[in-house]
Structure 1
Amino acid sequence: MASPRPILIVEDDAALRATLAEQLSLDGDFTADEAESAKEAELKLAHADARYDAILLDIGLPDGDGRDFCAKLRRDGRRMPVIMLTGKDQEQDVIKGLDAGANDYIAKPFRLHELLARVRAQLRVFDNSEDAVFIIGPYLFRPAARMLLEASRNRKVRLTDKESNILKYLYRAGGRPVPRQILLNEVWGYNSAVTTHTLETHIYRLRQKIEPDPANTRLLVTEGGGYKLNPLADAA
């Protein structure tokens, strides 16, 4: 089972915000963090450990227009999906939201199942786009390009499709160890002809590529009968 994906809810209506957070968490596919204003959202996004896979953004915030905040996110280079929530569903309002960089637009009141479906759809698109970039130690990881870029050394590390999928799944686990069999099933599918030895071979090769000292692993470690990624580790 994939790790729940963190969603930031930016909404000034406390009751709606709490309901959304509760329902997202109950769904099992997501975890929720909350902000009541653009300023609070910006502070959360600026935190060193912040990782949000998508943002639910109200158009009417107490300190500004959500569309302006969305445009600022894009100017700052933040590419995660943004779904705007609003009581305005006139065509010109929808166009303004999309022009500001929003990926989708849903009018209140909305059905929760529809909102969840839209979030999942946008995440699927994003995960396979060139915009998806994750930080793993000294690397920028671009899954779509199957590449790690080590900017400090101007070095590119090419990955195979399986290596890229292993890294992406472990990253999504949020620092928790993933048992070998689960990782095998997620990357290779339920194929009885593929054994954990295949996974171990790929992990070995991946470590040779990304660890300065593969005998003393710091980024991709063995733990709890499986493997764990330490994306914040300094591999230097």
Structure 2
Amino acid sequence: MISGKLILTVGDDETLRQILVEQLQLNGEFRIKEALTGKEALQYTEKQYFDGVLLDVELNDFNAYEICCQMRKNGVKAPIIIISDANNDQDTILALDSGANDFVVKPIKIAILLARLRAHIRQHEQNEHAVLNFGTYSFRPGAKVLLDIKTNKEIRLTDKETAIIKFLYLSSGQVVSKSVLLDEVWGYNAGMTTHTLETHVYRLQ
């Protein structure tokens, strides 16, 4: 259902930004949008959903901690990782208190940063209060609601339909067989046919 998580990178450190963009897009796992200033970052997050935010403290216009705090006030629920030169307890506390999920110190180890980003995204997606976006739809598993963003039409889902969409979303675009889906959603047993699954999928389509 998804061809890559959308990540917002924020900061005016050109070298770091180029490295992040190159590494994040390497295997098609992530898609990137870049903001050079805090103002741009706030504008982007007000108009678009992001799966994660990488926020460098080096900003010319705003304090990065204030930007993070404002994003949370604006309703951004996605994981935010702050990247900083400062390796001290005070900055770590400032970052976490401002609403960041994590604090990473330069020089960063890309592999570890990506692993942390993946972990935070997984945790966020598995939260029942999360809002998951794909294509033109916004999905709230906790409320069992699928919203067509273009038409603003709200679709109420059954428990099974909710479980199907959530499992397919978390599969990140990988092909899922009927048997795997039956096992995950229904607890597949030998006496069950795939007809029920096909009926649910047909309705969702």
Would the alpha carbon gap of residues 94 and 4 (structure 1) be closer, same or farther in structure 2, given more than 3 Å must change? same
Q: Secondary structure at the match of 1:27?
A: coil
Deviation digits for residues 29-62 of structure 1 (CA, Å, limit 9, x no counterpart): 2111111111111222233xx2310000012211
List gaps (5 residues or longer) in structure 1.
208-219, 222-236
Would the alpha carbon gap of residues 83 and 183 (structure 1) be closer, same or farther in structure 2, given more than 3 Å must change? farther
State the AA in 1 paired with 2:93: I
1:92-107 equivalence runs, <5 A: 92-107=90-105
Q: Secondary structure at the match of 2:116?
A: helix
Verify the 8 A CA contact 1:6 1:32 in the aligned structure 2: yes
Q: Secondary structure at the match of 2:176?
A: helix
Verify the 8 A CA contact 2:46 2:74 in the aligned structure 1: no
Over the aligned positions, Cα root-mean-square deviation in angstroms equals 3.5
Aligned twin of 1:110: 108
Aligned twin of 2:162: 164
State the 1:4 CA deviation. 1.4
State the 1:89 CA deviation. 1.9
What is the TM-score with the length of structure 1 in the denominator?
0.69
State the 1:192 CA deviation. 11
Deviation digits for residues 82-136 of structure 1 (CA, Å, limit 9, x no counterpart): 0011111200100010000000110011111100110011011101224412468
Verify the 8 A CA contact 1:139 1:148 in the aligned structure 2: no
Q: Secondary structure at the match of 1:115?
A: helix
Aligned twin of 1:61: 59
Would the alpha carbon gap of residues 149 and 52 (structure 1) be closer, same or farther in structure 2, given more than 3 Å must change? closer
Residues in 1 aligned to 2:133 and 2:5: alpha-carbon distance in whole angstroms: 16
Aligned twin of 2:28: 28
